[in-house]
Every structure is written in structure tokens, then in C-alpha cells.
Structure 1
Amino acid sequence: MNLNASRPLTLLELADPGLPGFESYSPFCLKAHRALKYAGLSYACVRADNPAAHRPHSPTGQVPVLLVGAEAVPDSTDILARIEQLAPGRIARSPEALLWEELADTSVNGFLVAARWADDRNWPATRAAFFHAMPAPVRAVVPALLRRKQVGKLVARDVWRAGPEACWRRFGALLDQLDARAPEHGFWLSGPLSVADLALFSQLHSLRTPLTPWQGAEVDRRPRLSAWLGRVDAATRTVSVPLRAAS
């Protein structure tokens, strides 16, 4: 039985990457998918190659956007808060969990963006995956322009300012710190799965696609971190037993 049938849920997001275990190339869309599944909420998807296609429901033209009936909830952080209202108590949202979510969505995400857009080893695969639907004349020009813009943002964020060697040295140090902090059992914080698990998982798991093989291997060779990622993946991959949904 769909407990949210009176207000159907629709996730507006990007095209399906066609990779088992990865609902989206966007870590923020992946975060929303896994939160909805773990909360036991049935939902539909509307996908588009360009996030601007969802602009009528998103002032920034970014994804994901969750439609709760006619109500549009943009931004993955706000979506997780709305999911907590729909399935109270299912996903923990303590102050500490929210701090980890912020670190994932900013610091960890910076390395994911750098891996895809700035790392010369990965750019050909990223370009092919993200821009294959473009007409050839446009594809010959636009991806390079967008890449230059993204790298400029990474420099401004101090992710790429000192160049690739410094970036990946800092990336390795961050993974070492996360590996040392990762729990041997259970989820990131003591108790149930929280927004910390969903946010950290979505960014780190997104590094494990074929777009970024070196970075994914770096994640997987940290044993505690990799084992925790496996537990979160198993817990959130399919829709769980639904809880009572708020109207």
C-alpha cells in the first residue's frame, strides 16, 4: 500500500546513468533517492538531460527537486527534512548529523567535482557521459567552456588553487581521517541511519563510478570506510517497509 498516495511523490532529476547501484551521477540526486527508499516512501521519477528542464519547479534550475503533490521542495538538504516530516523518526537529524551533512555537501563534494571536471585522467569519460546527447557541433565547443567554468569555481573554492598534486594529497588525507572515524559496526553516528550517512555516502559512493576510477580505488582501499559504505548501500538500495506517512 502506498501510504503517500494522497500526495504522490515525484523526484525531478537527471538522466539515468545506466549503472547498477547508482541511481544518478548527481550525488545530491543519489542522496534523495536513497533517503526516499530508506524512509519507505514510494515515488516516481522525472528525468532530464539538462537540469534546467526542471526550472519551473526550481528557481536555481538545479536538481534534485521533490514534488510532494503540487509542492516543490528543491535542494537535497531540504528534501531530507521534508522526508523526515513524511516518515517521522526514520532518518535521524541530530545537530551532529547536520554538521556531517554540511561537510559532505561542501568539502567532500569539492573533490568529487574536481575528479570529474578538473582531473585530465577522467575528463574524457566525464565528457562522454555528460554530453553524449548534444549535437556534434555543439559538443565540440560547449563541454570545454563548461569545464573551464567549473575549474574556475574549484579554484575559487580552494579545491584546485594549488593544482592537482596538492588537491589529491588533501583528498587522501581526508579519506584517511574519514577511515579512522568510520564505525566498525552500524552507521556513522551511534543509533539509526542519519542524514550524516546519506550525505557522506552519496558523495563517496559517487566517486566509485567508471568516471573516476583512481579516486574510487582510493576510497575502496580504506577498509573501515569501504565497509561502512557497503552497509549504507545495502540498507538504502531498495524501498524498505513503509512507515506511516504524514499528510
Structure 2
Amino acid sequence: MSTNALPPLTLLELADTGLPGIESYSPFCLKAHRALKYAGLPYARGCADNPASHRAHNPTGQVPVLLVGKEAVPDSTAILARIQQLAPGRIDASPEALLWEELADTSLNGFLVAARWADDRNWPRTRAAFFHFMPAPVRAVVPTLIRRKQVERLVGRDVWRAGAEACWRRFGALLDQLDARAPEQGFWLSGALSVADLALFAQLQSLRTPLTPWQGAEVERRGRLSAWLGRVDAATRTASVPLRAAS
């Protein structure tokens, strides 16, 4: 399908971070951004500080949501599948790639959430970045309540159940495994860039921000993994066609 025949595309998401190479603090929005760019699909952005602002298009109040004309496609996995339909063959979505996506979206994401919400070293930066738009009296109370709920969920996911030391020990072991598996050249699976690259990249790149400096440094010191991240970043950072300005 040529870009001239495409319905208008709008990615509903969180506010832009203002950081080069990090279009969104949401790794799932970041995944959708890089997939759209790599597929060469022009799109507009619909940003909001609160994901619940997009509830009209997704009853769960979660982002991202891709509007394909008037059709709302929520969830980053479903969005990548829709991108496959709009740009067939551009991104590998083999069963193996989808397995890696599942690992990224569950296991790796758990450590990202823990780094931002449970790690006392990072919480002040997370609070400032995520809640700056709130009035001061609300900001003094609400972020702490939300943090408490996030940590409870992390315990339920068995990410934080044994505490910080065990969590970051497991995180390091997972990074070591990924570093040993990372390709010395090219992308994660043989051949073209795949869903595996996009999903793993989105979670790991989201750790390499000022919000989580210790975890980002742990990623950086795995040489093969860091080099692969650089290749995916270079391949997906710039759209192959101009993006439409958001209305």
C-alpha cells in the first residue's frame, strides 16, 4: 500500500520527553514510534500528560493507541501487527520474534517499572518527570499513593517480592544473558529488523535515561548488547518519510 493510499495515522501517547532518542517515557509508546518510523508510515502525535485522557479510544485508559482513520488500535503488540498490515514485509514478525517480544514486554518491563517506582535512588527523578503538571498540593500526595500501588503490583509480579538486592541481582543476570545472545552484527534475529528488536530495544532504551542512571549504566557496560542497541537506534530513529504535523 502506498503512503498516498493510507488512512491518516495518529499515535495517542504520553507527553514528549524532550530527550534525544527517547520519544516517550512509556516503552510501549517508544516501541510504536520506532515501528512506525522504520515502516515508513507518516503519522501525527496526540500527546497527553495523563494516559486516561485517551480513554475515549481505549476504555482501559492505557497508551499507546494508534488511530488508523477512525479505527482505534490499543496495545503496542496489536499496533505492531496493524503496522504489518499497513506495510507488509517491512518488519519481521516470525513466531521467534514474538517470543522475544513477550520476554521484553513482561520480564524486562518489570525491571524497568521497578527501577522507576521502587528504587529509592530513582524515585525523586521519576516523580518530577511524571507529575510535574500537577498542582503542588496534589503533587504532595498523589504520586506517593500511586507509587505504593505500583510497588504492590511489582511484588505481585514477583519482581520486588524479595526486595531490592534480589531484584537487581536478577536484573544483572538477565542483562548478562542478553549480552551473550546479542548479535555481533545486524539485528537480533537473522535477516531484517524484527518485532524482537523493537520490543527489546524499547525496554532497554527506556532504562538509558536520566531517570534510572544506575540501571542505564548496567546496560551500557554490556558491550555487545549496547552495540546492538546502537544499531537498532540508528535504523529506527529517523522516519523514511516526513511525519505529518499533529493537528
Call closer, same or farther: CA 1:105–1:86 in 2, change over 3 Å: same
Conservation of the 8 A alpha-carbon contact between 1:66 and 1:72: yes
Q: After the TM superposition, which of the residue ranges 214-223 and 4-13 deviates more from structure 2?
A: 4-13
Contact 2:42 2:241 in 1 (8 A): no
Residue 119 of structure 1: CA displacement? 0.1
Mapped to 2, the partners of 1:74 and 1:163 lie a distance apart of 33
Aligned residue type for 1:214? W
Unaligned runs of 5+ in 1: 243-247
Which whole-Å CA distance do the structure 2 matches of 1:65 and 1:73 have between them?
Answer: 5
Shift in CA distance, 5/11, structure 1 to aligned 2, threshold 3 Å: farther
Secondary structure in 1 aligned to 2:47?
strand
Query: 1:89-133 CA deviation, whole Å, 9 max, x = no partner?
Result: 000000000000000000000000000000000000000000000
Please give the root-mean-square deviation of Cα atoms over the aligned residues, in Å: 1.1
Distance 1:5 1:120 in 2: 50
How high is the TM-score relative to the length of structure 2? Answer: 0.96
* CA distance in 2: counterparts of 1:71 and 1:172, whole angstroms: 41
TM-score, structure 1 as length reference: 0.96
Unaligned runs of 5+ residues in structure 2 are 243-247
Cα deviation for residue 34 of structure 1 reads 0.1
Shift in Å, 1:240 = 2.1
Aligned to 2:56, the other structure's residue is in SS state helix
Identity %: 86
Specify the code of the residue in structure 2 equivalent to 1:112.
Answer: L
AA of the residue aligned to 1:53: S
- What are the equivalent positions in structure 2 for 1:99-178 lying under 5 Å apart? 99-178=99-178
* Distance in 2 separating the partners of 1:123 and 1:108: 19
Deviations 1:210-233 (A, max 9, x none): 000000000000000000000000
What CA distance in whole angstroms lies between the structure 2 residues aligned with 1:237 and 1:4? Answer: 22
* Conserved 8 A contact 1:4-1:41: no
Amino acid at match of 1:184: E
2:182 aligned partner = 182
CA distance in 2, matches of 1:5, 1:229: 33
User: Which residue of structure 1 aligns with residue 12 of structure 2?
Assistant: 12
SS in 1 for 2:91: coil
Q: Does the 8 Å contact 1:11/1:44 carry over to 2?
A: yes
Q: Does 1:200 align with 2:200?
A: yes
Give the aligned partner of residue 34 of structure 1: 34
